[in-house]
Amino acid sequence: MRFLFKTDYEQDIQLAKHSGYIWSYGALLLAVLIVPFFLEEYYVGQMTQLYIMAIAGVGLMLLAGYTGLISLGHAAFFGIGAYTEAVLTGNGLALPFMDEPIVFSFFLSFPLAGIFAAIAGIAIGIPALRLVGIYLAIATFAFAIIIEEILSRWESVTNGYSGLLVESIYFGDFELTDGTPFYYLCLGVLIAVILFSLNLLRSPTGRAMMAVRDSEISAQSMGVNLAKTKTIAFALSAGITGLAGALFAHKLGFLSPESFTVLQSLELLVLVVVGGLGSMHGAVFGALFVLALPQGLAILKDYLPTQIAEVPGIEPLLFGLILVLIIIFEPLGIYGRWLKVKLYFQMFPLYKKATFKRQKSYMKSERLR
Amino acid sequence: MSEPILKVRNIETYYGPIMAIRGVSLDVEEGKIVTVLGANGAGKTTILKTICGVMDPQKGSIVFDGAEIQKKDPDKIMRRGLSHVPEGREVFPFLSVRDNLMMGAYTRNDRDGIAHDLELVHTYFPILKQRSEQPAGQLSGGEQQMLSISRALMARPKVMLLDEPSLGLSPILVKEIFAIIKRLNVEQGMTMLLVEQNANIALHTADFGYVLEVGRIVMEDTTENLLNKDDIREFYLGMQDHGVRGKRRWKKRKTWR
């Protein structure tokens, strides 16, 4: 057990509370940096996909976990980001007064993908400001369906259901959007996004977002402008999800509206809830759950006795079972379990199970609304 | 002395690792009002929640009407005749006042009895009759408290658990509500366990009192005796002795510490 002796107010808001943080996250960083040299190409691709989902998860976490606004339409922002990237780096932006469409470099189109998604986020955010809970979920759901329709009908730009080829990004002969370089790109973006979010959350804006989540009335009486805070949260969340979408476009290499359906939105929501609402860890754990667990189950299937492994639909069954168990037994998702494991090692011989013992019903402090 | 209707013995209740109730025992005799006094965080509400089954005690027993009820589900306990008036009223805001009262009689089947009790409730709280068609969310705080108490009465319980009926009410309304509580006790013979912060009015209403501090009972006596104790007068009723030097002694300690 470590006791922190604080000598400075700055210590209260430092991201690394003590040297342990630097060591453990440093080790993690080192591990993910060297891992492509030891893995097969397929698994490097899977890790890349994991980072992309985690970025989208961080985006939704800001909205659902930290501002308390449920969105069933994040696939729309994901899609907007992906299509913006594909169009800007591919066919380019055709303006009426110009002879040739402008084709953007990746370093310009990538932020633009985020910005476009953020603008879409503001567009849905402003009318949806008065909505909370289930009503907001329905409004964003409708928005997602509209965007899906636009993506499939606006054929001059998106090419509809015939799909849109995404150009790879080259620097001379060096291909950025494939294999190991792309892995590092996604990892870099994920780390940047997480650091940005953590920084945001220790700033007044971030605290205002959490205040809005916990009590709108109190937040207002502390001088928080509800409309502004919610719009910011919507814009940032949509923007980050849009960035994930842009990377996703390069990962797939071929876009069609079917990749951005409501199912994708639901998957994102499952990701943040299972990972743990209201924690940055949760976004990464959730991405692990959504992506790595089906993979793990597929591998596990090879080791199961044939009678069980041959049962049709055994993988979705196991996946669903684990999902339900986590939802029932861990109010804070996988992050909650992580906290327990962490405390177990911190306290080592003295860990008491009763620390996390629950009463019949959830207390106010145990689960977000 | 007859056997008390509600016997709580050595209950210990935890919030996670935090021990909120540290071995509390209390008796409630039939036809009496028993009050539990205590400051914020003493565990008053937790005691009531443990008795009515919303929370489970780790240890100890609760005997109600001859049967052990600890760790049972709240609805089962309620059906045995123990009604809980929760802290902060908790009326059903979208149901009309009448429907709220009928929800109180949810477990009963005797239409005549329900109609009779509805009348009875209306004689005690005439305002509820006037408002019977309004949604309960539109009532004022005091009216909601009255509704909450009446709703519990509609179940015709053997014992009522009242959690801070004075919460958020003006002094005059507090007086009014406690007068009705006393009347219910005298006229209907209703047994009550009353948890309060407002020690003055609670001690004047109840027959027997317990003083709770940080999860332990530190004093128990009839309310007349409690009212005369120095500690209660000073720390709960705010009456100060001015001593010889005209100011409060800085070393003044409670007897139980």
Rounded to whole angstroms, how far apart are CA atoms B216 and A208?
A: 39
Rounded to whole angstroms, how far apart are CA atoms A247 and A241?
A: 10
**A357 to chain B: which residues are within 8 Å by CB?**
14, 16-17
Judged by CB atoms closer than 8 Å, whether chains meet at A358 and B16 is answered as yes
Identify the pLDDT of residue B243: 60
Rounded to whole angstroms, how far apart are CA atoms B196 and B207?
A: 14
**B55 to chain A: which residues are within 8 Å by CB?**
359-360
In this complex, which of A352, A361, A363 lies closest to B17 when CB atoms are compared? A352
> How many residues make up chain A in this entry?
369
> At residue A30, what are phi and psi to the nearest 5 degrees?
-60, -45
Indicate the helix (H) or strand (E) that contains B28: strand B18-28
Token pair of A304 as six digits: 């199961």
Mutate to test the interface with B, among A339, A359, A365 (most CBs of B within 10 A): A359
> At residue A347, what are phi and psi to the nearest 5 degrees?
-90, 10
Judged by CB atoms closer than 8 Å, whether chains meet at B14 and A363 is answered as no
In this complex, which of B14, B54, B56 lies closest to A354 when CB atoms are compared? B14
Q: Closest chain B residue to A366 measured between Cα atoms?
A: B16
B172-211 confidence digits (pLDDT tens) = 989 999 999 999 999 999 999 999 888 889 999 999 999 9
Token pair of B90 as six digits: 């908790």
Q: Which whole number is the average pLDDT over A52-73? A: 93
**B56 to chain A: which residues are within 8 Å by CB?**
359-360
10 Å CB burial of residue A138 (0-12, 13-18, 19+) is: middle
Closest CA to B254 of B240, B224, B225, B234: B234
**B14 to chain A: which residues are within 8 Å by CB?**
354, 357
Identify the pLDDT of residue A31: 95
Contacts of A69 (CB under 8 A, 6+ apart): A63, A132, A136, A230, A233, A234
Q: Three-class SS of residue B27? A: strand
**B15 to chain A: which residues are within 8 Å by CB?**
359, 363
B6-90+156-236: CATH homologous superfamily? P-loop containing nucleotide triphosphate hydrolases (3.40.50.300)
Q: Are A73 and A237 in contact (CB under 8 A)?
A: no
Indicate the helix (H) or strand (E) that contains B29: none
Residue B244's pLDDT band (cuts 50, 70, 90): low
Token pair of B238 as six digits: 């705010």
Query: Within 10 A of A326 (CB to CB), how many other CB atoms are there?
Result: 19
Q: Are B212 and B47 in contact (CB under 8 A)?
A: yes
pLDDT of B1 strictly over 60: no
pLDDT of A368 strictly over 80: no
Its pTM stands at: 0.84
Judged by CB atoms closer than 8 Å, whether chains meet at A357 and B16 is answered as yes
SS (H, E, C) chain A: CCCCCCCCCHHHHCCCCCHHHHHHHHHHHHHHHHHHHCCCHHHHHHHHHHHHHHHHHHHHHHHHHCCCCCCCCHHHHHHHHHHHHHHHHCCCECCCCCCCCECCCHHHHHHHHHHHHHHHHHHHHCCCCCCCHHHHHHHHHHHHHHHHHHHHHCHHHHCHHHCEECCCCEECCEECCCHHHHHHHHHHHHHHHHHHHHHHHCCHHHHHHHHHHHCHHHHHHCCCCHHHHHHHHHHHHHHHHHHHHHHHHHHHCEECHHHHCHHHHHHHHHHHHHHCCCCHHHHHHHHHHHHHHHHHHHHHHHHCCHHHHCCCCHHHHHHHHHHHHHHHHCCCHHHHHHHHHHHHHHCHHHCCHHHHCCCCCCCCCCCCC
Q: Which whole number is the average pLDDT over B79-108? A: 91
In this complex, which of B16, B54, B55 lies closest to A356 when CB atoms are compared? B16
Average pLDDT, chain B: 88
Residue B94's pLDDT band (cuts 50, 70, 90): very high
- Which residues of A lie inside 8 Å of B (Cβ-Cβ)? 352, 354-361, 363
Judged by CB atoms closer than 8 Å, whether chains meet at B55 and A356 is answered as no
Q: Are A274 and A323 in contact (CB under 8 A)?
A: yes
Is beta strand B6-15 parallel, antiparallel or unpaired with respect to B59-64? antiparallel
Judged by CB atoms closer than 8 Å, whether chains meet at A357 and B14 is answered as yes
Identify the pLDDT of residue B247: 60
Judged by CB atoms closer than 8 Å, whether chains meet at B55 and A360 is answered as yes
Which of A92-101, A215-224, A290-299, B193-202 is predicted least confidently? A92-101
Judged by CB atoms closer than 8 Å, whether chains meet at B17 and A360 is answered as no
Q: Are A135 and A70 in contact (CB under 8 A)?
A: no
Kindly report the nearest CA distance between residue B174 and chain A, in angstroms.
27
Q: Which whole number is the average pLDDT over B62-71? A: 91
pLDDT of A261 strictly over 70: yes
| Interface A-B: count of C-beta contacts within 8 A | 20
Radius of gyration of chain A (CA): 22
Rounded to whole angstroms, how far apart are CA atoms A255 and A115?
A: 20
> How many residues make up chain B in this entry?
257
In this complex, which of A354, A361, A363 lies closest to B17 when CB atoms are compared? A354
Closest CA to B4 of B59, B51, B57, B58: B51
Give the long-range contacts of residues A352-358, CB within 8 A, separation 24 or more.
A352/B17, A354/B14, A354/B16, A354/B17, A355/B16, A355/B17, A356/B16, A357/B14, A357/B16, A357/B17, A358/B16
Judged by CB atoms closer than 8 Å, whether chains meet at B17 and A359 is answered as no
Token pair of A166 as six digits: 């995404």
Domain range summary for chain B, segments of one domain joined by +:
6-90+156-236
Residue A125's pLDDT band (cuts 50, 70, 90): confident
Query: What single-letter amino acid sits at B153?
Result: L
Judged by CB atoms closer than 8 Å, whether chains meet at A352 and B15 is answered as no
pLDDT of A163 strictly over 70: yes
pLDDT of B36 strictly over 90: yes
**B17 to chain A: which residues are within 8 Å by CB?**
352, 354-355, 357
pLDDT of A369 strictly over 90: no
**B54 to chain A: which residues are within 8 Å by CB?**
359-361
Token pair of A13 as six digits: 């808001």
Which of A60-69, B123-132, B169-178, B247-256 is predicted least confidently? B247-256
Sheet holding B208-213, edge to edge: B82-85, B159-163, B191-196, B33-38, B208-213, B216-222
Exposure string over A160-189, b if 16+ CB within 10 A, otherwise e? eeebbebbebeeeeeeebbeeebbbbbbeb
Token pair of A3 as six digits: 């006791």
Rounded to whole angstroms, how far apart are CA atoms A358 and A367?
A: 12
Average pLDDT, chain A: 88
Q: Are B166 and B177 in contact (CB under 8 A)?
A: yes
